[in-house]
Amino acid sequence: MRAFNKMMGRTRFVVCRLFLHLAGSDVAPILGVLNSTAREAIAADGDLQELGEGLVEICETLLRYDESWLSASNEGEVFWDEGEAGDYVNELFNDSGERYGADLDISSAAGLNQSFSIPVTRNVIVMLTVAYEGEVPDLETDLSNIPALKDALKALINLHYKEKLRAIQVHFSPAQLGDELTNDHLFQYYPELIPL
């Protein structure tokens, strides 16, 4: 199919977003990986190679915590125009950033040294948005079951190594140390989640 698309002078772009909800007493360390990767992404200033390395680290971490996966969802669109794909990436970026607890403020971490106790969250939401060239069936399907979700995370890793990624965005909640993502927040701000 790809050869046919190239022959016709058209490139297939896919933009997809994956939501993954992890729950339990052992999910808080994932926030350390997410925050570290976020700092590196800011420093990378849009370098897709560095952003892709961060995406790989996040996907590998999520795969190690598969016993904590509680619910998930995904969505996406196929585009034949790169500009339209870019507009959809921006739309998903804005939507993800407006979700509860997904507003990361790296500068606020300094004031946390004054606090003696910080609540530990039992819920973490990770939102991965990517744009890529070509066709990846493992990402372009229903990911509301664990085997499909594992295949999708592995497919994201492979897209990085094949240099097919055109955009990478990662949002997560809670994004601030000390914030807590409650079950009520999940129902209100992440209604698309489907139990795994």
- The pLDDT tens digits of the residues spanning 61-94 come to 999 999 999 999 999 999 999 999 999 999 999 9
- Per-residue pLDDT, 26: 87
Any domain includes 5:
no
Any domain includes 109:
no
- Per-residue pLDDT, 131: 97
Any domain includes 111:
no
- Alpha-carbon gap, residue 192 to 10, rounded angstroms: 32
Cβ-contact 142, 177 below 8 angstroms: no
Higher-confidence position of 102 and 51: 51
- Alpha-carbon gap, residue 41 to 106, rounded angstroms: 12
pLDDT at 2 over 50: no
List the one residue out of 80, 29, 83 whose CA is nearest residue 58.
29
Helix (H, G, I), strand (E, B) or coil at 135: coil
Span 111-159, pLDDT tens digits = 444 444 556 778 999 999 999 999 999 999 999 999 999 999 999 999 9
- Per-residue pLDDT, 109: 46
Residue 158 buriedness (CB in 10 A; 0-12 / 13-18 / 19+): middle
- Alpha-carbon gap, residue 2 to 116, rounded angstroms: 56
Tokens representing 196 are 């795994």
pLDDT at 5 over 90: no
CA triplet 21, 150, 164: central angle to 5 degrees? 105
Span 44-65, pLDDT tens digits = 888 999 999 999 999 999 999 9
- Alpha-carbon gap, residue 141 to 151, rounded angstroms: 11
Tokens representing 86 are 């870019």
Any domain includes 16:
yes
Tokens representing 122 are 């039992």
* Cis? peptide before 174, omega within 30° of 0: yes
Any domain includes 17:
yes
- Alpha-carbon gap, residue 85 to 15, rounded angstroms: 7
pLDDT at 3 over 70: no
- Per-residue pLDDT, 102: 66
Any domain includes 148:
yes
Any domain includes 78:
yes
Q: How many domains does the chain have?
A: 1
Domain range enclosing 71: 11-101+121-195
- Per-residue pLDDT, 104: 55
Any domain includes 1:
no
Section 98-113 average pLDDT: 59
DSSP designation for 114: G
- Alpha-carbon gap, residue 85 to 95, rounded angstroms: 15
Q: Which band of pLDDT confidence, cut at 50, 70 and 90, is reported for residue 22? A: very high
- Per-residue pLDDT, 4: 40
Cβ-contact 128, 62 below 8 angstroms: no
